[in-house]
Amino acid sequence: MGKKELSVAFLLALRSLQRGNRSSTLLTVLIIGMCFTNMIFLPSLFNGIENSITNQLVDYEVGNVLVSPELGSGNQYITNLSDTLGLINGMPGVERATPHLSEGATLLYRQRVLSVSVRAIMPNDERYVSPLYTKMIAGSYLGDTDTQEVIIGRPVAGNPAIRAEDEYQPSLGGVRVGDSITIKFANGYTKDYRVKGIYYTGWSEADSAVYVSWTDMENVLNQHPLDYADDITVKVAPGYSETFVKNDLQQYGVSERVQTTADLLAKNLGQAFQSFAIINMVSLIVSIIITTVVLFIVITIKTLNNRRQIGILKAIGVDNEVIMHSYGFQVMILAFLGIILGIILTLLLAVYMSYHPIVTPAWSATLSLTPLDLAINSLILFIAAIVAGYVPAYQVSREDIQSAMRA
């Protein structure tokens, strides 16, 4: 088929759309746009959940690289902490390394009793590794020399307007900045602490904890200096990879267990993320099938309603292929407009969810979209629309003139 015939087919397609039922055309475009949104929404949401979990795990639990006691070594802690930190912080690719130490404790406030994990951190170093200091919703962040002061998560502080029996998770019932709470540590150390700040990260493990300074934990454990830790989290400097830093640490004498975020995710959340990938694939396949069927029905109805017009075109000598391609071009134009509408709707939805994310006690998530995702889904939908449009167009264009004119 030559360029001239294709030009005629394209012109016929434009004229048909311009002179056709505008409501039908707009409805078809809307259907294609909604099909596009349906195709991309669930996979983008699952990708958003995966990214949210990964980011929060990195920010508040393990950093880019986690150094922990070697399995089978019999050591519960990383010992000789100051030398290990000095070695790690001096390695190329390391922006900062900071230790964590958790102790079980019981909080007492008025008539409330709550068991929590009290985490000791080096506040100034923690700023380089974790955005915790940016999540303060009341009061202020800890300082390195603070003692008998804590920062607590919003779920731990609680809401005084909610009764204890109605709470989703136990809390202290409405602690405010400046209030005094009693902390009984597992080793018997008991002290009153002032609440210096209240934070909220959206990550349940962090929000359910209480943070104190490393200096304060030295007093709790009567260790001066406190030279051991549960683990060390490492922030990788820009331009370096987690794997590079991991290999460097192992090569230059860090005898403890060294794991990247990818290593930890593969072990702990690998099956969950694989399940997300399977659900995404099933959702995409089902969406493509539904989209193709819906478009096939819509285009078939449109084509059958225009059989008399097709008969007239044949009677004046228009070739079958020109007629078929004219309907194919109509589908392409409608698909293009519908995909543009679908992209606009999806981006608007993504913007809305960035301000109003889906929040659970464990994580919060928005839509995770990339230009590649939009391009791939657009191409898939465009191909599905062409297939759905050309089949009925081919069938009707092959009818004889008399059958078409009697329609």
Nearest to 163 by CA among 209, 106, 112: 112
Give the pLDDT of residue 365.
78
- Beta partners for residue 364, in sequence order: 359
The pLDDT, as a whole number, for residue 4 is 65
* φ/ψ bin of 163: left (φ > 0), alpha (ψ from -120 to 50), beta (otherwise): beta
For tokens 């923690």, the residue is 126
How high is the pLDDT of residue 142? 95
Strand 209-213 to strand 112-121: parallel, antiparallel, or no bridges (unpaired)?
parallel
Q: Which of 383, 401, 406 is nearest to 320 (CA)?
A: 401
3-state percent breakdown (helix, strand, coil) of the chain, nearest 5: 55, 20, 25
Residue 384: what pLDDT?
Answer: 82
CB 54 within 8 A of CB 262: no
- Rounded Cα–Cα distance for residues 335 and 113 (Å): 61
Beta bridge pairs of residue 368: none
32 closest CA partner among 368, 380, 396, 395? 380
> What is the predicted pLDDT for the residue at 140?
95
Residue type at position 391 = V
Q: What is the pLDDT of residue 134?
A: 95
Cβ atoms < 10 Å from Cβ of 402: 10
Helix (H, G, I), strand (E, B) or coil at 398: coil
Local structure of residue 29 (DSSP, 8 states): H
Closest CA to 214 of 120, 133, 126: 120
SS3 per residue for 176-241: CCCCEEEEEECCCCEEEEEEEEEECCCCHHHHCEEEEEHHHHHHHHCCCCCCCECEEEEEECCCCC
Q: pLDDT truncated to tens, each residue of the chain (407 aa)?
A: 566 666 777 776 777 777 767 787 888 888 888 888 888 888 888 888 888 888 888 999 889 999 998 876 677 889 889 989 999 998 899 999 999 999 999 999 988 999 999 999 999 999 999 999 999 999 999 999 999 999 999 999 998 888 888 888 889 999 999 999 999 999 999 999 999 999 998 888 899 999 999 999 999 999 889 999 999 999 999 999 999 999 988 887 777 788 998 888 877 666 777 777 788 788 778 877 877 787 777 777 776 666 666 666 666 666 667 767 777 788 888 888 999 999 999 999 999 988 888 877 667 778 888 899 899 889 988 888 888 777 777 766 665 555 545 55
Looking at residue 64, what DSSP letter applies?
Answer: S
Cβ contact 50:273 at 8 Å: yes
CA nearest 13: which of 387, 404, 401, 324? 324
**What is the torsional sign of CA 255, 260, 264, 267?**
negative
- HSE of 335 in the Cβ direction (CA atoms, 13 Å)? 26
Strand partners, 233: 98
Q: Is the peptide bond before 225 cis (omega within 30 degrees of 0)?
A: yes
CB 66 within 8 A of CB 233: yes
pTM of the model: 0.75
In terms of Cα–Cα distance, which of 200, 202, 207, 180 is closest to 191? 180
Distance from C-alpha of 138 to C-alpha of 37, rounded to nearest angstrom: 39
Bridge partners (DSSP) of residue 308 are none
